Structure 1
Amino acid sequence: MDVATLKLLLQLLPRLPMIARVAIFHMLQMSPSSKYVDLKTELTVTLIRSFLTPSKPMSISDTQSLLNRDPGIKGRIWVAKYTAPAPKETSIRDVVIRAIENMRQPASDGSPLPPLKNVDWSDVVPVEAEWTGYRAGATPQSILPSITEAEKYAEMMKEVKNRTTVLYLHGGAYYLMDPFTYRPTTKLLTKLIGGRCYSVRYRLAPQNPFPAALIDALLSYLNLLYPPLGAFHEAVKPEDIVFSGDSAGGNLCMALTQLLLEFKRTNTKIQWFGQEVDVPLPAGLALSSPWLDLTHSSPSCKTNAEFDYLPMLQGLDKVPRPSCAAWPANPPRKVLYCADALITHPLVTLLTARSWEGCPPVYISCGWELLADEDKYMAAKLHADKVPVVFEEYEGMPHCFPMIFKGSPMSVRCLDAWTEFTTDVVEKGPGSVESAFRTIKARTMKEMDIDPSGLSPYTEEELRERLRGLRRERAPPAQATGDVAAKL
């Protein structure tokens, strides 16, 4: 028995009574989930939840060290590592800061907005990424050949079947995970779409708070559109690019898109390696369980707790995390991802964006999870703003289920829809997307149409009143972006 297996068994040992209880309640059809999912799924969700709410939580630094580890590259996958250089111009940083300032929501009483304090206006830095493609001729144990990264990219491109390019932004609550932890996902996506993924290693909080990740995402997109000297790839047309991501990565995809819409509204151009460039919109967005409300205050954050492994905020601070070099921050703040004053900003909590007019088509999938309400609200808002949107709700499923239950009927169905949208929006064009709203029933896989007029669980005014209430309390949920699950 290897050390890793022994450690896992030791961690499972004190959970045996919980496992037995869940199994008994499931077999007796006495648990809410038993009507919708099999025993393996319910046990997996329960175990993940228990690991995310330990009696002795680790520090932020220790959690990052534990989970942000490169497992190595093997199997049917091409990975070519590339670092997009940072231009000498500060234009990227300047336009992002200007957009953040311009998009701040006015006070409800009409009073002038106070100046932003304690905001770390991040510099523009080189951004690493992984070009990923499917390697059909390899075996599960194959390793990459000992050639240069540029040569690996060239070999990968020999197996790319179409022009679809996915700009992938990973999940992890903005403080965890990495492109290397998402290689199984990007490998599967490239296999199904026949294209390639550009998986971005954006800077993580709390060490690099908002807008660092947004700046990195923008630089990565510009790198695809306008390759600097030494890039592996030729210029990629915007109509061949799809933004894709899960959870926090879905948030970042939407934030980048809203930023591009703001550029369009203000006719903003960017200085990029000595030339002035436009930043056009991509072909579309394909998102899995996007995290769109960083206040974590939607009703489903409580009502869907039985079906999800994400922990509710209530009770997360009963045992505080140990202090470390990364957290608490200096100057102090409550929110891991951003300055407290920015938690409801339209580029942070995307539900507060006033308009999505002109946004390219969007695919959103979610389960019966804590984030379901915010995803439904966003789908309804996009539809109201005349954006083509495909929304799919998977009955009884938890957060980011396609990455966890690979091979299950619901996951296969979701990935098929996700990748079909991705290829269609590129190969057939954005005009080929017709809005659709549906629930996929558990066990039977039957599709049920949803009336978009009744999709949103709350109105825009109810949303804004709830967020105003949070501001009046002067207490955004403590560590909302840090103590929510690693897969957020």
Structure 2
Amino acid sequence: MTSTASGEAQPREPLTTWQNVKFFLSMAPQLPLVARVTLQHLLGRSEPAKYLDLRSELTVAVLRSIMQPAKPRSISSTQRLVVRDPGVRGRIWVANYAAPAPPEPDVLDALVDAVVGLRDPSSEPVEIPRPTIVPVEAEWTGYRAGATDDARLPRLSERELFEEMQKEVTSPVTILYLHGGAYYVGDPCTHRPVTKKLAKITGGRCYSVRYRLAPQNPFPAALLDALVSYMTLLYPPPDAYHTQVAPEHVVLAGDSAGGNLSLALLQTILELQRQGRRLRWFGVDREVPLPAGVAVCSPWMDITVSSPSWQANEAFDYLPPASKYHQIKYPPCSAWPASPPRRHLYASDSLVAHPLVTLVMARDWTGAPPVYLCTGWELLADEDKFAARMFHSQGVRVVFEEYEAMPHCFAMVLPQSRNARRCFDGWAGFIRDVVEKGADGMESKAVMIKARTSEEVELDFSSLGCDAEKMRDRVLAHVADPVDVPSEIVAKL
């Protein structure tokens, strides 16, 4: 069963025989791999077979072969391949909006001040890049209940599409969505199934941001675009379609690198509040208030890839484990290697351990709004558990869900699975509840969800991850070790 925005339970449709046939036909190019995985699964000789059905294990295995090719593509060709808009079709509203750059530089000045303020005082001072303030595009996304599966958008202006979408919005929820893709791929168009589903379950709408991608635009360009987008929601520019959104109706959300960016935006806002900073925004001095909450799926909290789960959980994930991650070399192209050279796609070497880049290095989350965080038995599991433990230890209300045997961003890559449906219900349910109930109406909890039954097993926050100093030492040791950080490296998150 699933819940609609009104709270009514709706039956789920089982997979048809034809759907299963189409799935297995799609695996035809990978027949040797499919045959091997199928045999191991049926004989019970693979670790995932203890927890997953055959369809799910095959999906993860094929994704692994795609994500870990013998001959990697260049960064530029990968970007061109992945970011292709398939068009808008089905039960979804999409209205594009390009938020104009504010005429004042204060939003950039404030961000740079936050980066400086959060720097480890014992570290050497470094130059902070100052990206150009540019217009930031986004997609307003809502659920279109009356459409068919193959319906196209009506021929209306973007503003008119937004107004049609608004007619179906039944909740004050506004989700500022930041997509995943390792900071170098992905787009609002690649994440429409996610934003549509979150809008449907919450009854609200998503503002899905087309932030600038690395390596062409390294840190803090994406974070600047996220901050501009947040201010755009709170204080609409003159040409905006929407009216002013109350901060208590905004939830920051994202997956993988988008989860990193969501929490980096939250940490930025917290730091600006510590500094008592206001922003000059379209001619008016504005506060930068906290959102209602943050809800992230499989967030990439450690850009340095230093946690043990990056090797230990290899059997359950499709991402390249640490041993292979460090060996990936990409053909040179216009985007990579960068000039001047650096080891990491997203940030300069001197900033990779900064707490707005590698979020596990952030020391203070005091005063943050409630946080939802889910993870699987994936390569990022240790850093996600650590983050949940850190939030809880500092008095932040946190809902943590660990999904048994699930890979990275499983709710998106295994959408037909029981746990994907359970994850979306928990993810969207948190978003709806934190807006409707407020922080005082939320309670912390940590659970592990069983793969085959969705049974919840309560977890103790103190048992999640390692302590802060141990995590910090791992990150710094990794950054300092030239063997562990080769010259050409990319994480496919």
Partner of 2:95: 80
Q: Are positions 1:43 and 2:58 aligned together?
A: yes
Q: Distance in 1 between matches of 2:329 and 2:433?
A: 47
1:18 and 2:37 are equivalent in the alignment: no
Q: CA deviation at 1:479?
A: 7.0
Code of the residue aligned with 1:286 in structure 2: it is A
- Of 451, 472, 476, the residue aligned with 1:468 is 476
Counterpart of 1:126 in structure 2 is 135
Q: 2:353–2:476: 8 Å Cα contact kept in structure 1?
A: no
Q: Return the match for 1:322 from 315, 319, 331.
A: 331
1:426 to 2:426 alignment: no
Matched, 1:484 2:491: yes
* Alignment map for 1:409-448 (pairs within 5 Å): 409-448=418-457
Matched residue, 2:105: 90
The residue aligned with 1:459 is: 467
Counterpart-to-counterpart distance in 2, 1:403 and 1:309:
13
**SS in structure 2 at match of 1:192:** helix
Q: Take 1:101 and 1:24, find their aligned partners in 2: how far apart are those partners?
A: 55
Deviations 1:286-318 (A, max 9, x none): 110000010111011110010001111323454
The reply to whether residue 172 of structure 1 matches residue 187 of structure 2 is no
**3-state SS of the aligned residue for 1:189?**
helix
Pair 1:99 & 2:82 matched: no
CA distance in 1, matches of 2:26, 2:93: 35
Determine whether 1:397 maps to 2:423: no
CA distance in 2 between counterparts of 1:478 and 1:257 reads 31
Q: 1:363 aligns with which of 329, 351, 372?
A: 372
Which secondary structure state, in structure 2, belongs to the residue aligned with residue 136 of structure 1? Answer: coil
Alignment of 1:236-315 (within 5 A): 236-315=245-324
CA change 1:10–1:141 in 2 (3 A) is closer
3-state DSSP of counterpart to 1:167: strand
User: Following superposition of structure 1 onto structure 2, how do residues 62-211 of structure 1 map, counting pairs within 5 Å?
Assistant: 62-107=77-122, 113-117=123-127, 120-211=129-220
Q: What amino acid sits opposite 1:185 in the alignment?
A: V
Q: Verify the 8 A CA contact 1:439 1:448 in the aligned structure 2.
A: yes
CA RMSD of aligned residues (A): 1.6
Is 1:55 the counterpart of 2:70? The answer is yes
CA deviation after TM superposition for structure 1 residue 135, in Å: 0.6
Contact 2:56–2:417 (CA under 8 A) maintained in structure 1 = no
Measured in 1, the distance between the counterparts of 2:166 and 2:416 equals: 27
CA distance in 2, matches of 1:232, 1:191: 21
- Asked whether the equivalents of residues 202 and 216 of structure 1 are also in contact (C-alpha less than 8 Å), the reply is yes
- 1:5 aligned partner: none
Match of 1:315, SS state, is helix
Contact kept, 8 Å, 2:27 with 2:34, in 1: the verdict is no
| CA distance 1:371–1:201, shift in 2 (3 Å) | same
Q: SS of 2:245's equivalent?
A: coil
1:193-232 pair list within 5 angstroms: 193-232=202-241
Identity %: 53
Greater mean deviation of Cα atoms: 406-415 or 371-380: 406-415
Q: What's the offset of the Cα at 1:20?
A: 1.4
> In 2, distance between residues paired with 1:289 and 1:10?
27
* CA deviation string 1:452-475 (max 9, x = no partner): 11112x111111221231233246
CA deviations over 1:104-151 (Å, ceiling 9, x no partner): 1133xxxxx43325x532111100000000011111111111111000
C-alpha separation between the residues in 1 aligned to 2:409 and 2:382?
A: 15
- For 1:37 and 1:409, the matched residues in 2 are separated by 10
Q: In the aligned structure 2, how far is the partner of 1:162 from the partner of 1:307? A: 37
Question: Which string of whole-angstrom CA distances, capped at 9 and with x for unpartnered residues, describes residues 191-213 of structure 1?
Answer: 11000000000000000000000
Q: Aligned equivalents of 1:476 and 1:316: distance in 2?
A: 10
Please give the alpha-carbon distance, in whole angstroms, between the structure 1 residues aligned to 2:380 and 2:365: 20
Paired residues for 1:367-378 under 5 Å: 367-378=376-387
Q: How many angstroms apart in 2 are the aligned matches of 1:461 and 1:322? A: 37
The Cα of 1:406 is off from its aligned counterpart by 1.4
The equivalent residue for 2:49 is 34
SS in 2 for 1:79: strand
* Cα deviation 1:359-381 (Å, max 9, x = unaligned): 00000111100001101000000
CA deviation vs aligned residue, 1:381-417 (integer Å, no higher than 9, x gap): 0000000000000001001011111132111111111
Mapped to 2, the partners of 1:340 and 1:307 lie a distance apart of: 30
Say if 1:274 and 1:411 are closer, same or farther in 2 by CA, change over 3 A.
same
Aligned partner of 2:5 in structure 1 is: none
Query: Secondary structure at the residue paired with 1:153?
Result: helix
- Structure 1 residue runs of 5 or longer lacking an equivalent are 1-7, 108-112
Partner SS, residue 167 of structure 2: helix
